[in-house]
């Protein structure tokens, strides 16, 4: 993509992820983009491209979003990626279970999910790979250790976590460096305030998901 951003963020409008990526404080969550066929797909591609044109340099997706279809959509919209664009994806949730999905962070499964993500995103390295949820059936050291091995192989740049407690973050950090935490957080929901403080103390990027929509949907605001 060659379009110049209409807004070039200054240092105050950015933050560091893993000491490698400096990204805009307002990122783009791609979960709601329509990844099926038809005119909605064209509109979704246009939205993703427009976000980058406006200066967004962090886009968040996941294997769970359409079981990889969202990743493929972003690749179709944005590949080859601008040098300053960080597309982060998440693994650790697969199809199955009574809800249509299940935790699966077994080392072999994580490796397969990462390999699939690399293929769908058309890249040899995922700059930031986040564990979508900790699998309660697998020791944390094994889950994070599997991602560390992929990092050592050059397939992952940095490791992140999602929906973790401060204690879980500390446990994960005993196995690998953690670059980011993506937890639910907004004005009306401060459950993860201790995690935010832990991230601030350790220089870990904190990526709040649904920072506005959840509060507005709660009916507590007018």
pLDDT digits (tens, 9 = 90+) for 185-200: 888 878 789 999 999 9
Q: Which residues contact 35 (CB under 8 A, 6 or more apart)?
A: 41, 44, 65, 66, 69, 70, 72, 73
Query: What percent of the chain stands above pLDDT 70?
Result: 90
Round to whole Å and give the CA distance between 146 and 100: 25
Residue spans of the domains in the chain: they are 11-217
Q: Residues of 185-215 as b/e, b for ≥16 C-beta within 10 angstroms?
A: bbeebeebeebbebbeeeebbbbbbeeeebe
Is the CB of residue 172 less than 8 Å from the CB of residue 202? no
Least confident of 2-11, 68-77, 81-90, 139-148: 2-11
Beta bridge partner(s), residue 86: 58
Q: What share of the chain is helix, strand, coil (3-state, %, to 5)?
A: 35, 20, 45
Residue written as tokens 């805009």?
24
In the prediction, which pLDDT does 216 show? Answer: 52
The class that CATH gives domain 11-217 is alpha beta
Round to whole Å and give the CA distance between 133 and 101: 12
| Active-site residue, from 65, 81, 103, 192 | 65
Write down the mean pLDDT value for the chain. Answer: 90
Q: Is 103 a catalytic residue?
A: no
pLDDT digits (tens, 9 = 90+) for 157-183: 999 999 999 999 999 999 999 999 999
Backbone angles phi, psi at 9, to 5 degrees: -65, 140
Work out the pLDDT band at 215, boundaries 50, 70, 90.
very low
Residue written as tokens 């995103």?
121
- Other C-beta atoms lying within 10 Å of the C-beta of residue 158: 24
pLDDT digits (tens, 9 = 90+) for 94-147: 998 778 889 999 999 999 999 999 999 999 999 999 999 999 999 999 999 999
Q: Which residues contact 75 (CB under 8 A, 6 or more apart)?
A: 120, 121, 122
- What does the radius of gyration of the chain's CA atoms come to, in whole angstroms? 17
């Amino acid at each position: 993509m060659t379009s110049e951003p209409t807004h070039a963020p200054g240092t105050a409008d950015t933050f560091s992820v893993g000491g490698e990526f400096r990204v805009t404080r307002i990122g783009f969550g791609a979960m709601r983009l329509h990844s099926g066929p038809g005119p909605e797909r064209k509109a979704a591609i246009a939205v993703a491209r427009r976000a980058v044109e406006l200066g967004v340099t962090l886009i968040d997706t996941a294997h769970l979003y359409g079981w990889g279809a969202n990743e493929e959509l972003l690749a179709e919209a944005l590949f080859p990626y601008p040098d300053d664009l960080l597309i982060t994806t998440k693994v650790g949730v697969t199809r199955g279970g009574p809800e249509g999905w299940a935790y699966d962070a077994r080392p072999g499964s994580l490796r397969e999910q990462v390999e699939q993500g690399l293929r769908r995103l058309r890249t040899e390295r995922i700059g930031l790979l986040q564990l979508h949820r900790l699998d309660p059936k697998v020791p944390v050291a094994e889950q994070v250790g599997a991602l560390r091995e992929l990092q050592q192989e050059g397939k992952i740049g940095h490791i992140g976590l999602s929906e973790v407690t401060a204690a879980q973050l500390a446990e994960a950090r005993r196995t690998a460096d953690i670059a980011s935490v993506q937890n639910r957080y907004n004005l009306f929901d401060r459950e993860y305030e201790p995690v935010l403080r832990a991230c601030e103390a350790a220089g870990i990027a904190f990526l709040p998901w649904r920072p506005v929509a959840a509060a507005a949907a709660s009916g507590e605001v007018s």
